[in-house]
Amino acid sequence: MSNALTATAEPLDLAARCRAILDGRVAPPPIAGLIGFRVLSCEPGRAVFELNTDLERHANPMGTVHGGILCDLADAAMGFAYASTLEQNETFTTLELKINFLRPVWQARLTATGNVVQR
């Protein structure tokens, strides 16, 4: 499997790459392996990601899941949702991310759903 970030001579099509990752034809980005999340679904304007938290890997000094891990999961879902709407050779990056944490997370299966509201 080739890496999802491998440069090719072909035009960049992030929507097609999202589908290829979901189908297993292309490896997910390295951050997915580092954090441990995976894509469950990706359709135009919507993506769902999952993370089974592991306190051996994801804990902060207080013993709960580190907020940055939660941000990474949310950013991945939002990013894939947006990427699924892009035309060939369009790209994007997250410019700002704000999250309000409502309660701590320990060992859990987390699901993040990204929905494009405005493009």
Give the CATH number of the domain where residue 31 resides.
Answer: 3.10.129.10
Structure tokens given for 107:
């060992």
Write down the pTM of the prediction: 0.84
Q: What are 12's two structure tokens? A: 């960049």
Whether 1 is covered by a domain: the verdict is: no
Tokens of 116: 């494009």
Q: Which tens digit of pLDDT belongs to each residue from 35-84?
A: 999 999 988 999 999 999 999 999 999 999 999 999 999 999 999 999 88
Domain that holds residue 95: 14-114
Per the listing, tokens 């493009």 go with 119
- Alpha-carbon gap, residue 28 to 37, rounded angstroms: 10
Split into its structural domains, the chain has a count of 1
The CA R_g of the chain, rounded to the nearest whole Å, is 15
pLDDT for residue 23: 87
Residue 4 lies in a domain: no
Question: What is the distance between the terminal CA atoms of the chain, rounded to a whole angstrom?
Answer: 31
DSSP letter at 103?
S
